[in-house]
A and B are shown apart, each in its own frame.
Chain A
C-alpha cells in the first residue's frame, strides 16, 4: 500500500509525486489518460514572476522559480525538459502605461523580484526586431520556461518510489469513519495513507467524490504556433529598430505588452487577449494566450486566433510574413479568487487538494508539490499556505 495516491499526472500531480517521494513517501500516481493528458498538454511552459502582483501568488511564484532552477540543475540537459531562464520583457504602449508598469515593478521588487527598467531606446538591445514606438519596458531576468509535457513526464519518473498508473480513472474515494483511505478506480481499489487531488480543471469533480465543494471552472485559452524559424526571414522589411542586426533569433525573450497584467487578474467572462510571444527550442514561435470563459467548448474561434496574430505582429512586425501552422486550445483551472487550492481539506481528513492554478500551474508546480509533501509529512511548510486553504470558499459564501 502506497503512502500517497496522487490523482492526476499533469504538471501539478507529477510535482506532488516527486516531492512526496523526496520526503521518503511511496507514491502511486494515477491518471485516466496518459501523463500530461490534461491542461498540461495544451498550454505553454512559462514560469513567470513578471505577471504577478505582490501577494500570496507572487510569494509562491518566487519560491517556485528557485525550485525550478534546482530541478533543472539536478539532471543533465537542463533537467531533460528544455528549461531556459531566458527572462521576460514587458513593454508599455505609452507613457501612462509605462508609469503603471514601473510602479508595479517597484512593488514586485519588495517581494524579491529582480527588475530592470528599459528605456525606449534600449528596447532594441533586448529585442532587435521589436516594433518601434513603445514607450519603454521592464526586463525580468527571473522569468523562465520549460517544455511542460516533458517536465511532467520526467518529474513523474525521477523517483523510483513513484509508481505511475496511466489509463486508470478514479471513480470514487475509499473512506473509513469519515477519513479518506484510498481511491476506487476502474481498475480496482488503491488503499493509501493520504490522497492528493491534482485533477486540474477536473479537480472539482474529484472533490465532489468526497462530498465537498471546490469551485474550479475552465477558462479557455488558444495558442498559435508558427513554422519553425531559423534566424530572421530574409525578406524582413519591417524597419524594426536594429534591423541591421542581421541574423539571430527573431524573438529572444518572452515578450508581452503591459496590458497582460490587467488581463490575468480580470473577472470578465468575455474574450481577453494579450499575446505573449516566445520562441521555443523547436524553432517555432508560440503566441498565447487568450482567456475566455466558455465552458469546455473546443470549437475553433478564428476571431481569437486573428486577435492573437494581430497583437503578435504589433510586437514583431517581421512575424507578418511568418506562417502559423497550428493552433490549439486548453482549459485553465480557475477559482473565483484566482488563487490555487493547496492544502489538507479540513472537511475530509486524509484528502489534500493541489489544483486550480489557472494560467500558472506549470510555474507553480514545484512549490505546490513541496508544500503538499510538507503538509502530508507534518513538516513545517516553507511558506504559509493559509491563503490557499480549500475551505476558504465556503467561508466566503457563508
Chain B
C-alpha cells in the first residue's frame, strides 16, 4: 500500500524472458472466463503465467454448466458459449494450468511480489507459488437465504444443481422446483429440463417481468431471455413471478415445498399458498463475490448496486494494492461476458505494467472500455431489477437454522439481539453463526441482513481449512522458495 511496495517493472535486467527461476510474472487465481481471458492475453505477450484453480478442470462457473454427456449428444445446443470456451482454452499458450489447487492464503513476499499458498489435490499437499503480480479472479458463490426446511437433503443452491448435472447423476425422473430470484434461474431450469428432469415450476420472487425494460435496452440479452422462455415452454415448465418457496418439507428428505404468493417486499399474502411435490429444490438468490484473497492483502472494496462488497478497481482492473488485479465477479456480479472482458482488460494492464509501457497505447482500448461500460451498466440494472426483498425474514421460524455449521437456529439469533448484539459481528460472537467450517460464506449475508446491515467485506485470514502441520512447517522460513 505504501510507495516502496510498488513493484518495479520487470523489464530490463530481470525482465520478461530472463526471470528468476520459479517466480511467475503473473499468477492468476481462478480459471473462469475472467482468469482464462487474462491468462491468454498475458501468455501471448510473453509473460510467464500460472493459472490456479481449486476445480478439476478449467472453465469456472460458466463453462462448468455443460454436462459432459449432454455436450457430446448435442454439441453447443445447451451451451451457446461452448465455442467461446474452446477459443479461450486454445489461447492459453504456454501458461501453466495448475488444477486442484485450493489457495488458502496470499501474502506479500519479501522484496515485492506475492506468495500464493495452496493445498494441492486430495492429499492437500501444501505448496507455495511465487508471483510478481497477482490477478484475483475467484468469481462468486451462491447467495443463500435460510427458510424452514432449507437444510433438508434434496434442497440445493442453483450452483450445486449444476454440479448435479455435471456429475453423471442422471436427472431423468427427478421432480425439481427452481426458485429464488434473478436471471440465472432460467438457464438452470432449462438445463435441468433438457437433462431429463421434470421441472415442476420456476418461481421468481420478484415480479415476473422485472427484467423487461433492461432487456429491451440490450437486444442480445432479450433474445436470450426469449430463447429460454421458448425452451421452458417446450418442456412445459410453468414460470411464475411474485412467488417464493417459503418452506421445504420432508421426513429426512425433501418431498414437497410450500410456494407462497409474495408482495413486492417478499412478504407472503395471506392465503395464496400451494404445495408442490418434488424431490429436488434448486434455490438461487444471486451471487456473492468471493473476496477472501483480496481482503487478505488489504485491497479496498466498494459496494455494488445491491449494497454488497466488491473489489474496488480502476479502469485497468488494478486494485488499491500495487501489483494486485481483480477481474470478473470479484469486481461485481455481471455474467460471463463481462467477466471475460474484464479478464482481457486486466491481462493487458498486467502486460503493460510488467513492461513499463502505458496501457492507453492500445488502439482497441476505447472500444473495449465502451463495451465494458455497457455490460457493467446492464449488470447494475439487473441487480436493481432483482433485489432481495426484506420480507424473507418473515418466512423464518424460531427453530429454522440460520447457520448449519454451528447449528444456530433463528431463535438464538433473536436472543443474541436481545442481549445487546446490535450488529452482525456481535450476533456472530454471541450466537456463533458463521464460526464453523464455511466461515460464514453460507450464512453471512443472512446474518448481516437480520442485523439490518449490508454485508461487510469478509475477514478470513485462512480462506480454506489448512492443517496445523502444514502451517507449522511454514514457521521460520526466511525466504520464499517454490515448493
Contacts and interface: CB of A to CB of B under 8 A. Distances in A.
B167 interface: no
Contacts of B370: none
B105 A324 contact: no
A57 B477 CA distance: 37
A310 B419 contact: no
Given A150-B430, A327-B461, A309 B422 contact: no
A325 B468 contact: no
A306 B461 CA distance: 12
Interface stretch (A33-41, A106-114, A380-388): A33-41
A303 B478 CA distance: 10
Interface in A135-162: 149-150, 153-154, 156-157
Main secondary structure of the interface of A (DSSP, over half): mixed
A187 interface: no
Contact of A309 (B298, B416, B472): B472
B366 to A, nearest CB: 38
A325 B462 contact: yes
A156 B138 CA distance: 42
A321 B465 CA distance: 11
A357 B436 CA distance: 29
A154 to B, nearest CB: 7
B269 interface: no
Contact of B420 (A164, A310, A313): A164
Interface string B470-483: 01111110000000
Contact of A282 (B406, B425, B468, B471): B406
A327 B296 CA distance: 12
B432 A41 contact: no
Contacts of B476: 306-307, 310
B421 A35 contact: yes
A9 interface: yes
Given A41-B429, A167-B422, A306-B474, A326 B467 contact: no
A310 B466 CA distance: 13
A327 B468 contact: no
A34 B422 contact: yes
A166 interface: yes
A1 interface: no
Contact of A324 (B107, B416, B471): B471
Sorting the interface of chain A by its residue count into under 10, 10 to 19, 20 to 34 or 35 or more gives: 35 or more
A37 B451 CA distance: 14
Nearest to B471: A309
Contacts of B432: 282
B472 A323 contact: no
A34 B406 CA distance: 22
Contacts of A226: 468
Interface in B93-107: 105, 107
Residue of A34, A228, A299, A328 with highest tally of chain B CB at under 10 A: A34
B162 interface: no
Contacts, number: 127
Given A34-B421, A227-B465, A300-B105, A326 B439 contact: yes
Interface string B411-436: 00000100111110110011010011
Interface in A76-112: none
B437 interface: yes
Contacts of A322: 467-468
A321 B469 contact: yes
Contacts of A225: 435
Interface in A289-323: 298-300, 302-303, 305-307, 309-310, 312-313, 319-323
Given A299-B298, A302-B105, A149 B465 contact: no
A153 B469 CA distance: 36
A16 to B, nearest CB: 15
B460 interface: yes
B419 A325 contact: no
A313 B473 CA distance: 10
A41 B467 contact: no
B412 to A, nearest CB: 11
A41 B476 CA distance: 30
Contacts of A321: 467-469
Nearest to B421: A34
A325 B405 CA distance: 12
A41 B473 CA distance: 29
Nearest to A225: B435
Given A154-B419, A321-B469, A324-B468, A35 B437 contact: no
Nearest to B295: A300
B430 A309 contact: no
Nearest to A150: B430
Nearest to A284: B435
Interface string B320-333: 00000000000000
A164 B419 CA distance: 9
Contact of B430 (A149, A227, A302): A149
A32 B381 CA distance: 36
B66 to A, nearest CB: 33
B429 A36 contact: yes
Residue of A33, A282, A319, A325 with highest tally of chain B CB at under 10 A: A325
A129 to B, nearest CB: 13
Given A35-B426, A322-B468, A328 B421 contact: no
A282 B431 CA distance: 11
Nearest to A285: B468
B107 A300 contact: yes
Nearest to B296: A300
A313 B468 contact: yes
Interface in B68-113: 105, 107
A226 B468 CA distance: 8
Contacts of A156: 419-420
B420 A34 contact: yes
Contacts of B107: 300, 302
A323 B422 contact: no
B359 to A, nearest CB: 28
A146 B421 CA distance: 18
B149 to A, nearest CB: 24
Contacts of B437: 227, 325
Nearest to A322: B468
B196 to A, nearest CB: 38
A9 B468 contact: no
Contacts of A287: 468
A313 B416 CA distance: 35
Contacts of B474: 302-303, 306, 309
B468 A153 contact: no
Contacts of B429: 36, 41, 149
Contact of B425 (A37, A157, A303, A320): A37
Contacts of A166: 420, 422
Given A164-B420, A300-B461, A322-B467, A41 B472 contact: no
Given A321-B467, A323-B465, A313 B472 contact: yes
Contacts of A313: 468-469, 472
Q: 7 shortest A-B CB distances, which residue pairs?
A: A320-B469, A35-B420, A34-B426, A309-B471, A310-B472, A34-B422, A300-B461
Interface of B: 105, 107, 117, 296, 298, 406, 416, 419-423, 425-426, 429-430, 432, 435-437, 439, 459-462, 465-469, 471-476
Interface of A: 9, 33-37, 41, 149-150, 153-154, 156-157, 164, 166-167, 224-228, 282, 287, 298-300, 302-303, 305-307, 309-310, 312-313, 319-328
15 contacts: A34-B426, A35-B419, A149-B429, A153-B416, A153-B419, A156-B419, A156-B420, A224-B468, A298-B459, A303-B474, A306-B475, A309-B468, A309-B471, A310-B475, A323-B465
